[in-house]
Amino acid sequence: MLTQTDKANDLAARFGGSGAEGGEFAPGGVPVSEIAERHGSPFYLYHADMISDRVRRVQEALGTEVAYSLKANPNLAVCSLIARAGAGGEVASSGELIVARAAGFAPEDIVFAGPAKTDEELKMAVDEGIHAVNVESLGEIERLAAIAGEAGIRMGVGLRINPEAQLMGSGMRMGGTVGQFGIDQADLAEAVARVLSHESLTLRGVHVYTATQVFEVDPLLEHCRNIFDIALETADHAGHPLEMLDFGGGFGVPYFEKTSEFDLDRFGEGLREIVASYKSDGRLEGCRFLFELGRYLVADAGVYVTRVVDVKETRGKTFAVTDGGMNHHLTATGNMGQVFRKAYPLLNLTRMDGAVPEEGVAVAGPCCTPLDSFGNNIPLAAPEVGDLIGVFYSGAYGYSASNLGFLSHPSPAEVLLLDGEAVLLRAGGRPEDVLNGQKALTL
């Protein structure tokens, strides 16, 4: 079982490792201090090849289509890399749909999910001609039918089903329980009948997404068998073969100690056996099988870099206080629904070859709350003011999942390591940006 330091060093090596003078982190040969000097700190650094390679690796292992969940990281360049690697897109808002189209995802490879799609969002999906809107209620079926009918278009529909069976061995559950997601499996027949009653709709298939951060292969394979059975039941109600079967995703990323990599190869082997046993069924003839994956495609390809502003001793504990924290990276500070707050893998990027003291270091951000902490016992090479700290596994649920306006600090930059160059994707904010879009009262 790898320690957090082992994980961080492994990820640093995949980025390009150390190599600059003094053991400084130099991804692709570019010293991290040079990136910080050019673009300021804090910043997110993404690795283009790691993203593209992961997409292809998953496609090869599963033998199915892959749809990237833009919610994990909707950065335009990141999405473009994934589209070029041959993945489709899963969006959950009109904004994500705009990004998906700008990034090069073909309309026929986009599905739209989410429990509260507005009429404006449904209209955009219809106008763009995407493959399917995965509807989550009987009422949404009626609204989509009216919008598609007014546009004179026959719109593809996927039924997001909330299955009766739970997926065990997962982190956060979003199905198999009471919640806002999907149509209860008990209402499947009525949902199919509703879709078939409208000439403006065509039933493409079913969508089941029940959990995230799944590490156990066998329960997930059993879950896939259950989804196949739901699909066959749906086809029976519809009276025609299904065109799409969306298994969701949720493959786990081992952020914390005592968690290991999801066994993609073993899952892929098991999935292929299951697909082979169902694929010959006429009710699935020509059906597209797809998995929605977000964090699993991009998490390891990102590192959040923040600078040490102060080092202090308080009651025998060393604190490194940094210029970025929960305002830029909410998930890494344990403030996005985690029951137990645990530290991501961190490294002192300035002193990659530095000795790690037995006593861990507390790393805290700039916000005026004790919640702004990356961890209280981090095995970190002794930090000094000006050092750059790297928070790994930061390619997913980072920039766009954080409360960037909290305390009105500037937003971080986003940088892409591409062909040995550090390319600026989005400039960091400025203090005066806090006034953008606001109007003062004239008294």
In the block, residue with structure tokens 């400084």: 24
Q: What angle do CA 290, 265, 90 make, to 5 degrees?
A: 25
Whether cis (ω within 30° of 0) applies to the bond prior to 254 is no
- Give the HSE-up count for residue 245: Cα atoms under 13 Å, Cβ half-sphere: 25
* SS3 category, 313: strand
Q: Catalytic amino acids?
A: 368
Check if the beta carbon of residue 351 is closer than 8 Å to that of residue 5.
no
> From CA 251, how far away is CA 295, in angstroms rounded?
8
> From CA 353, how far away is CA 57, in angstroms rounded?
31
Cβ neighbors of 276 (< 8 A, separation 6 or more) are: none
> From CA 422, how far away is CA 45, in angstroms rounded?
8
> From CA 92, how far away is CA 292, in angstroms rounded?
12
Angstrom CA distances, 59 to 275, 297, 387, stand at 15, 11, 39
Check if the beta carbon of residue 167 is closer than 8 Å to that of residue 223.
yes
103: left (phi over 0), alpha (psi -120 to 50) or beta: alpha
Instruction: Write out the DSSP string of 125-153.
Output: HHHHT-SEEEE-SHHHHHHHHHHHHHHT-
Amino acid at 19: G
> From CA 344, how far away is CA 254, in angstroms rounded?
9
Here the tokens at position 47 are 């690795």
Length of the chain: 443
Check if the beta carbon of residue 171 is closer than 8 Å to that of residue 211.
yes
Check if the beta carbon of residue 157 is closer than 8 Å to that of residue 125.
no
